[in-house]
Structure 1
Amino acid sequence: MTVRRKTLVVLKGYPRLSETFIAQELLGLERAGFDLTLISMRKPTDKKRHPIHDEIKARVVYLPEYLHNEPLRVLRGLIGSWKRPGFRPLLRQFWTDLLRDKTRNRFRRFGQALVLAHEWPDAGEWLHAHFIHTPASVTAYTSILTGVPWTCSAHAKDIWTSPDWELTEKLAKARWSVTCTRSGFEHMRQLTDRKDEVHLSYHGLDLTRFGHFDQRRSDRDGTDKSDPVRILSVGRAVPKKGYDILLQALAQLSPDINWQFTHIGGGDELSKLKPLAESLGISDRIFWKGALAQEEVLSHYRQSDIFALACRVAADGDRDGLPNVLVEASSQNLVCISTNISGIPELLTGGENGFVVPPENPRLLAVAIERAIREPDLRHRLGLAAGRRVREHFDHTSSIRQLTRLFEDEWQKS
């Protein structure tokens, strides 16, 4: 039997409401017998927590988010590291990286790695990074300094906003890497000769938290002013979510349709979206709920008629992989309307289990929404098909089994 190694999991921030897929994976690994300590590069900023965060038993250690805020920890890390055999190789790697990425962020990751290596919580025996951009930088630097091997889970923004040279070097140094969409998987495999060490692993959904919804949904079709069709979206208000496109699409719906739109999530773009809704003349139909806990989000899935998310590739290359909210909504037989980017077509097929339109196209998005409103029987059929697909192909237990096998295979070799 493989001995499970004490694993330090490096995260950008913990806990985060927008990253329940990571929390779900951490809990699944704990239940599979993994001994984890969570290393967070940032302290939490969300005012609420999901119940799943309270179920995770792993201790959380916070690194200095900004080096100047905790100079003594950084100084102790530097003094404690410079006699290590790995310190000079780390300096060489850091200098090489700095010449290609002359940013304050590069110094921050170096300093965080010094602190992590010096403090070395709970006698860690393995390093694992969630996200291949900044968390993997801290992890890779720490691995050079300590000699402890590392592995990596890549997701979406981290893949598409990282330069190819950096991805190539990290993929060469990590023992293995996983990612959660086929587009990200294929991109990463193109950048490395170690193609067999890049794996596709869908996050899936904990179906015990998103139980089967067996009630028939409403037949609202927009004709009753006192009972408008309920359109829902869940996601941070950031450019890649395309909420400006969605608002424009809603404004183009036929004036005879009665609808209301609910948005759940925080995000900096709310300050722009609310005035946009005013200028489009639809603000009186919109409810901005802010960030909500998971059980509240589930209630909204079950009370709504349509789920819409207008994902796009942002100007800086940032994009979603396969948004977990689409999997969640689909699990509740709620018909989803989204775009054909990244991993979304791996879940949704237009005309079979949802509506899929090109990004950046409010007119076609409006056409899809209007059809879903006017044809309740169609949206019921597509929603039921989406629910079946989630339960057959996106159960998170298969991902946990895959990750367990990857870790254990590597530990047996080491």
Structure 2
Amino acid sequence: MQNKQKIVVLLKGYPRLSETFIAQELLGLEKAGLSLELVAMRRPTDKKRHPVHDEIVAPVRYLPEYLHEEPLRVMKALWRVRRLPGFTRAFEQFRKDLPRDFSRNRFRRFGQAAVLMAEWPEDAGWLHAHFIHTPASVALYASLIGGLGWSVSAHAKDIWTSADWDLAEKLALADWAVTCTRAGYEQLDRLSGTRHNVHLSYHGLDLDRFPAFEGKRSGRDGADPADPVRLFSVGRAVKKKGYDVLLKALAALPADLHWRFTHIGGGDELTRLKALAESLKIADRIVWKGSMDQREVLDHYRESDLFCLACRITADGDRDGLPNVLVEAASQGLMAVSTTVSGISELFADGDNALLVASEDVAALSAALEKAMRNPALRHGLGAAAESRVRRDFDYRNSIRDLMRLFATRPAAAKEQTADR
């Protein structure tokens, strides 16, 4: 049987501005010699692209986002894969899952899996999913239908908002999983039972895209109203980012401390946050930039004095892992004030290379911001220490090496039932 080396990478949406770490990884795997084909469950909604997206050569296909939008395609796929040896097992798994998650989404995932396998490229022999929630559901059913080996990268929300039974069954059926924070690793390793097939690998940065900033950091201390301290944040305006807490902390700063805050990112909460800034009487000190590409964001890292992100755990358990923007800011020697949520403490230590406070603590966050704003020497020192840590331990090539070792364990070719369709 012909050796099938291509890897199909299943993504929730592609391309996405907020998922540069995935695009960076895809490009790194291509540069390391892997042949990829990308399959996304959603079409792009962002109006901009990062430069890295244009460097990836892998073709992209899109599954039906909603089955009723492409009924003929779905029916043809089900008809085509129904005779595959693994279809019965996949359907039994679907029937087992359905009472535990009786939703349109569950039906959608099975239909998408059928389309994925019916349109499977002849030269591909492995399936890798990004995110262990819905993409991994599609990957699980597809792997059973086609008799394929598969693996999954888990990140943040997908871990913490999924039911334990769902994660445990996926880990039982996947060949291996990888995740990007120790907190996520410990959660998944616990659920993997005796298999212990979960691996920890930090994403890191392509440091060629984030070369060291050779300029001089400012000595702004907030005393001059004509030259205020420049605060900066990048992130989607969603609840887990804690921007409402940050705005309240900014409003609590002393009147004699002069500052300006710039935010980059889209998100559903923007309207509410702008209204909150108005009610707190700080709207005239804030610039909402909206979405920007990576090159534009880099300029802001270099022009700013302090990076701020007030990550939290939401009511449904959603949280960040280690936000890539914190790693990016650190790569430019830009000091961060943030929280101790999830993987943030795996990069930063309070007082050593950042200032960290408990999430939801407006008073503590405001005090940390004031301390950093009034003391440029502190900012410079902690920012330099953060940069040193990133350049030593968070080069994305380390993660690519980890993944290449894991992909090297996959069978050299697809199993027999995928050979003739």
1:398 counterpart = 2:398: yes
- Paired residues of 1:311 and 1:320 also in contact (CA < 8 A): yes
Q: Secondary structure of 2:210's match?
A: coil
RMSD of the alignment, in Å? 1.2
Q: Secondary structure of 1:377's match?
A: helix
- Paired residues of 2:4 and 2:413 also in contact (CA < 8 A): no
How far residue 413 of structure 1 moved from its aligned partner, in angstroms, is: 10
Q: Secondary structure of 2:410's match?
A: helix
Change (3 A) 1:225 1:195: farther
In 1, distance between residues paired with 2:309 and 2:65? 32
- Paired residues of 1:4 and 1:34 also in contact (CA < 8 A): no
The match for 1:357 is 357
1:206 counterpart = 2:206: yes
The match for 2:216 is 216
The match for 1:47 is 47
State the AA in 2 paired with 1:215.
G
Alignment of 1:10-409 (within 5 A): 10-409=10-409
State the AA in 2 paired with 1:383.
G
Task: Give CA-to-partner distance per residue, 1:149-191, whole Å, 9 cap, x none.
Answer: 1001000000000000010000111111000000000010111
- Paired residues of 2:304 and 2:334 also in contact (CA < 8 A): yes
- Paired residues of 1:233 and 1:262 also in contact (CA < 8 A): yes
How far residue 123 of structure 1 moved from its aligned partner, in angstroms, is: 3.2
TM-score norm. by structure 1 comes to 0.98
Q: Secondary structure of 2:178's match?
A: strand
State the AA in 1 paired with 2:64.
P
Change (3 A) 1:295 1:358: same
TM-score norm. by structure 2 comes to 0.96
Which is worse superposed, 190-199 or 142-151?
Answer: 190-199
Task: Give CA-to-partner distance per residue, 1:255-310, whole Å, 9 cap, x none.
Answer: 00110000000000001100000000000000000010000000000000000000
How far residue 52 of structure 1 moved from its aligned partner, in angstroms, is: 0.2
In 1, distance between residues paired with 2:32 and 2:207? 17
State the AA in 2 paired with 1:296.
E
Change (3 A) 1:83 1:412: closer
- Paired residues of 2:241 and 2:310 also in contact (CA < 8 A): yes
In 1, distance between residues paired with 2:5 and 2:355? 44
State the AA in 2 paired with 1:313.
I
In 1, distance between residues paired with 2:22 and 2:258? 38
What 5-or-longer segments of structure 1 have no aligned partner?
A: none
Task: Give CA-to-partner distance per residue, 1:93-123, whole Å, 9 cap, x none.
Answer: 1111111001111111111001111111353
In 1, distance between residues paired with 2:64 and 2:157? 23
Q: Secondary structure of 2:390's match?
A: helix
- Paired residues of 1:234 and 1:265 also in contact (CA < 8 A): yes
1:7 counterpart = 2:10: no
How far residue 195 of structure 1 moved from its aligned partner, in angstroms, is: 4.7
Q: Secondary structure of 1:410's match?
A: coil
In 1, distance between residues paired with 2:84 and 2:412? 27
In 2, distance between residues paired with 1:47 and 1:410? 37
In 2, distance between residues paired with 1:92 and 1:14? 30
State the AA in 2 paired with 1:22.
I
In 1, distance between residues paired with 2:231 and 2:124? 47
State the AA in 2 paired with 1:98.
L
In 2, distance between residues paired with 1:214 and 1:345? 27
Task: Give CA-to-partner distance per residue, 1:192-219, whole Å, 9 cap, x none.
Answer: 1245311000000000000011322000
- Paired residues of 2:156 and 2:184 also in contact (CA < 8 A): yes
Which is worse superposed, 295-304 or 120-129?
Answer: 120-129
Q: Secondary structure of 1:121's match?
A: coil
Identical pairs, percent: 62
Change (3 A) 1:4 1:402: farther
Question: Where in structure 1 do 4 or more consecutive aligned residues deviate above 6 Å?
Answer: none
What 5-or-longer segments of structure 2 have no aligned partner?
A: 415-421
Q: Secondary structure of 2:387's match?
A: helix
